[in-house]
Structures are given as C-alpha cells and as structure tokens.
Amino acid sequence: MADSETYQGDQGMVQRRPASPAPADLWSTLKKALFIIGSTTIVFVALRNSLTYHLQHFWGASGDFWQHQWDKILRTVGDDPFTLLVFGTTLVSYVVYWIVGLMYTAMDVTGRPAMLKQYKIQPGTNEPVESWKLAKCIFWVNFNQIFVGIPFSTACFYLLRLRGWDESPQLPTFQWVIFELVVCIMMEEIGFYYSHRLFHHRMLYKHFHKMHHEWQSPISITAIYAHPLEHAFSNMMPAFLGPLVLGSHVATIWLWVSLALLSTLNAHSGYHLPFFPSPEAHDFHHLKFNQCYGVLGVLDLLHGTDDKFRASKCFSRHLMMLSLVPPRDAYPDHLPKGKVICGKQCYDQTSEDSHKSFSTEDTKLLKCRLLSERKFSYCTARPLHCRMMALKYEKPIFGSMT
Ligand SMILES: [Zn+2]
Ligand SMILES: [Zn+2]
C-alpha cells in the first residue's frame, strides 16, 4: 500500500489505485464488513438476552419469552400466513421506518438538539429542510410502502409457497436466526450492489434513479424515496433474496426487514453519530453519484468503485466513532501542520513540502521528527495508537492512515 500513496501538498494524500485491489485493502474491507456484522450480532444477542431477562424478571413471563410473545400475536391476528407475511411485514416496516425516520426528521426541521449539528456529514445542508421537498419525499415514501410494498410482498408470498417455507407456529432457534441474518446481509450486499449499479446506467438513470439522487445531501426518510420500479427491484428485491433462498420464518423476516430499514435510515441520515455504524460511504455516493454503490463496501472494493472515496477525507472518517468527538473534528479537512504527541512532532501529508513522503517499508510506521533533536526518526506507534494519543492531547493529525 505504501507504493500507492503519494504526497500531494495541501490536497492531502492521494492513493494511486493499483489495477486490482491489493489483498491488504480487501482484507481490511472484509474485516470492516465482518466487524459490522459481528458487532451488530453481539449487540443483538446482548439486547435479546438482557431484554428477555428483564422482561421475565419484572413481568413474570414464564417459559420462552419470545415464543410467548409470538403466541400472543398469533392469537390476536390469527395464523394466516398470507396476512402475517403481506400485511404484517408491511405494518412492521411502516412502524419502524416512521418512528425512527421522524425522529431524524424532527432534528432536521427544528435544528434541535443543536449539539447534534456537529455530527452532520455535510454541514450547512438541509438547515432547515425545504418544506416542499420534504412533503414530496413523504408522499412518495408512503406510495412505495403501500402501493409497491403490498403487491411485492404478495408476490414474495407465492414465491415462498412455491419454494416451501417455515409456516410453523414455533419460532426458529436463536442460533438459526443469527445464521439467517448473516446470509440475508450477504445477499443484500450482492443484490443491492448490482441492481443499484444497473440503475446508474445512463439508459436507466435518467428515467428511474435520478429521483433518489435529487437529494445530494440525503436525510433519513429519503432512504426509500425512489421511483416505484426502483423501489421494487433495488430496495425490496435484495432484502427479500435471503428469506426467499432460506425459506425463512415470518418472524425472522420481520426482524431482518426492521434491521435492514434501520441500516438504510442511518445510511441516509446525514449524521455520523457516535456508536452508530458509519454512514459516510452512502452519503458520499449521494454527493459524488458514481462511488460506493454497495452496503458493506466489499463489492465496491472488488470492482474498484470506491477509489475516489478511499482517497477522500470521508474515508478516514468511515468508522464507528467510539467517543463523542465529532468525526469532522477527529479527522479534519485541513490538517494542522503538526502537533505535539508524546514529545514528538509527527508530520503528515500536509507538513512541510521537503518531506515529500513518509512511507516506509510498513505504512503503519510514521515518520516523525523528534522535537528536541530536530531530526527525523520513525515513530513506531501504529496509526490507531497515534490517533488515540492525539485525541488525548490535541486534535488528531492523521488523515487516511488506515
Ligand atoms: Zn441513497
Ligand atoms: Zn445511486
């Protein structure tokens, strides 16, 4: 990777992409993808376990808590598989989408809480949101949810019937649900990447996908603001691929659809909030149009459709923030010329132009200058460590050093 980096003055580090992605790049992207899947699973398992414990403890529910809840749903709405799949999935999606989406929208419309403004990915945009644009978005999202969602789910119902699916009143085991979710995530990445890229073809873009890209700086509820045909093929189809292949239980489908919606609402929110998965990649897609088509980023790396993203500042911010420091402060657009860290002055790409390159045999080593001796030496700290030190003492100084 060291060879692919060149000092570009104040323009920042530009990575020259090799013809095919370097294995190290692929590995780090896969690691990120696995991290997202892994951390989501851990959070999900922890939530499920603690929820079960507390609900059983305080409400005195007996036996298998979740099976008990499912039985209640079946007693209330009946066990007709068509109703559960078509109307149940539509209702669950609708409720999840609007509860979370309207919370983000309230932030955009009122500008409160004001402290959240520092987490905006594109500051100054949608402050406030134009009312007519918002109204148009709300109309089309509702249209898609009802007039595309219900017929599409109906088609899925008959496809599932053809394939054979889990219609049992018994919930699947927890381990099986986790396995199904992982498969669904992978199918979504494949289905969404290729269908989305297809909609960027110049023959299709102007007729369909242009509508979704009216929002160069998206807000949460623009997640499914799209041409109805695109909504069916590029939003719903990839999400239903996993359940169709696996013949999933309807409860798993409800859970999966809710998680997928939460993910896309976050990806379009325009806010990179602490402890949330990074929405930088899809926000960059809306800003630049021809970058970052996928969800996890694995296929973008394989196809080289994230080269500009990787060379941008946004890429250095493309991680889950584990502190309250806003990503734009942690990885600023214009880096200071060097800050004191552990008694050393480290130089990055914006430092004096005599130091054209600081790559070594290992890009994880940074060339630093000892303050006292005014000479060069190699800082053996890994970038991540440096960043953490920098956060402790000063604003961080490193750019895209992952
Ligand atoms: Zn989008
Ligand atoms: Zn697009």
Distance 288 CA to ligand 2 centre (A): 9
- Tally of CB atoms within 10 A around 238: 22
- pLDDT of 362 > 50? The answer is no
45 or 295, greater pLDDT: 295
Q: What is the mean pLDDT of residues 35-61?
A: 66
* Residue at token pair 């214009």: 334
How far apart are the C-alpha atoms of 142 and 55, rounded to whole Å?
34
Ligand with smallest separation from the Cα of 289: 2
User: What is the whole-number distance in angstroms between the Cα of residue 193 and the centre of ligand 2?
Assistant: 10
Of the ranges 96-110, 164-178, 210-224, which one carries the lowest mean pLDDT score?
A: 164-178
Report which bound ligand comes closest to the CA of 293. Answer: 2
CA of 200 to the centre of ligand 2 (A): 6
| H/E run at residue 370 | strand 366-370
Distance 213 CA to ligand 2 centre (A): 6
pLDDT of residue 28: 72
CA of 282 to the centre of ligand 2 (A): 9
- Selection from 208, 213, 97, 73 nearest residue 149 by Cα: 97
390, β-bridge pairs: none
Q: In whole numbers, what is the pLDDT of the chain averaged over residues?
A: 79
Instruction: Tell me the ligand closest to 226's alpha carbon.
Output: 1
C-alpha dist (Å) from residue 98 to 4, 25, 132, 145: 44, 37, 19, 11
pLDDT of residue 174: 87
pLDDT of 35 strictly over 50: yes
- Inform me whether the pLDDT recorded for 56 exceeds 80: no
What is the Å distance from ligand 1's center to 111 Cα?
Answer: 22
Encoded tokens for 253: 């489908």
- How far away, in angstroms, is 265 Cα from ligand 2 center? 15
Nearest CA to 251 out of 100, 95, 79, 97 is that of: 79
pLDDT above 70 as % of the chain:
73
Q: Distance between CA 256 and CA 265 in Å, rounded?
A: 14
Q: Distance from the CA of 191 to the center of ligand 1, in angstroms?
A: 15
How far is CA 126 from its chain centroid? 20
Cα–Cα dist 165/248, whole Å? 6
Give me the pLDDT at residue 33, please: 73
Cα distances from 300 to residues 36, 313, 337, in angstroms, run 16, 17, 33
pLDDT at residue number 85? 96
CB 97 within 8 A of CB 252: no
How many angstroms does the Cα of residue 219 sit away from the middle of ligand 1?
Answer: 9
Among 42-56, 124-138, 317-331, the range with the most confident prediction by mean pLDDT is: 124-138
CA-CA distance, 271 to 326, in Å (whole number)? Answer: 10
What pLDDT sits at residue 313? Answer: 87
Residue 13 has pLDDT above 70, yes or no: no
Backbone angle region of 210, left / alpha / beta, with phi > 0 → left and psi within -120 to 50 → alpha:
alpha
Q: What pLDDT does residue 369 have? A: 37
- From 213, 226, 168, 188, select the one nearest 33 (Cα to Cα): 188
Q: Which of 367, 362, 365 is nearest to 384 (CA)?
A: 365
Answer for the pair 103, 96: CB distance below 8 angstroms, yes or no: no
Sign of CA dihedral 101, 102, 107, 109: positive
Where does the pLDDT of residue 254 fall: very low under 50, low under 70, confident under 90, or very high at 90 and above?
very high
% of residues, the chain, pLDDT over 90: 58
- Indicate if the alpha-carbon torsion angle 291, 294, 297, 302 is positive or negative: negative
- Tell me which H or E stretch contains 375: strand 375-379
pLDDT at 295: 94
What gap in Å lies between CA 213 and CA 359, rounded to an integer?
38
Question: Where are any strands of DSSP class E within 280-320?
Answer: none
pTM assigned to the model: 0.74
- Structure confidence at residue 256 (pLDDT): 97
Going from the Cα of 121 to the center of ligand 1, the distance in angstroms, rounded, reads: 14
d(CA 215, CA 219): 8
Alpha-carbon span 224 to 185, nearest angstrom: 18
Residues 144, 172: Cα–Cα separation, whole Å: 30
Residue 58: pLDDT band with limits 50, 70, 90: low
pLDDT attached to residue 39? 73
Ligand nearest to the CA of 305: 2
Residue 277 CA to residue 255 CA, distance in Å, equals 18
State the distance from the centre of ligand 1 to the C-alpha of 209, rounded, in angstroms.
Answer: 10
pLDDT of 23 reads: 59
Distance 95 CA to ligand 1 centre (A): 20
* Ligand 1 center–CA 237 separation, angstroms: 16
What is the rounded distance in angstroms from the CA atom of residue 316 to the CA atom of residue 338?
A: 18
* Nearest ligand to the CA atom of 215: 1
Which ligand minimizes its atom distance to the CA of 216? Answer: 1
- Binned at pLDDT 50, 70 and 90, residue 388 comes out as very low
From the CA of 235, which ligand is nearest? 1
Ligand 1 centroid, distance to 148 Cα (angstroms): 18
CA distance 309 to 282: 10
Using CA atoms in the order 215, 220, 226, 228, what is the torsion angle rounded to 10 degrees? -160
CA of 294 to the centre of ligand 2 (A): 9
What is the whole-number distance in angstroms between the Cα of residue 256 and the centre of ligand 2?
A: 23
How far apart are the CA of 205 and the centre of ligand 1, in A?
Answer: 13
Tens digit of each residue's pLDDT (9 = 90 or more) over 184-215: 999 999 999 999 999 999 999 999 999 999 99
The 10s digit of each residue's pLDDT in 139-191 is 999 999 999 999 999 999 999 999 999 999 999 988 899 999 999 999 999 99
Please give the distance of CA 129 from its chain centroid, rounded to a whole number. 22
Does residue 239 surpass a pLDDT of 60?
Answer: yes
Name the token pair of 278.
């990074």
Alpha carbon of 205 to ligand 2 centroid (Å): 9
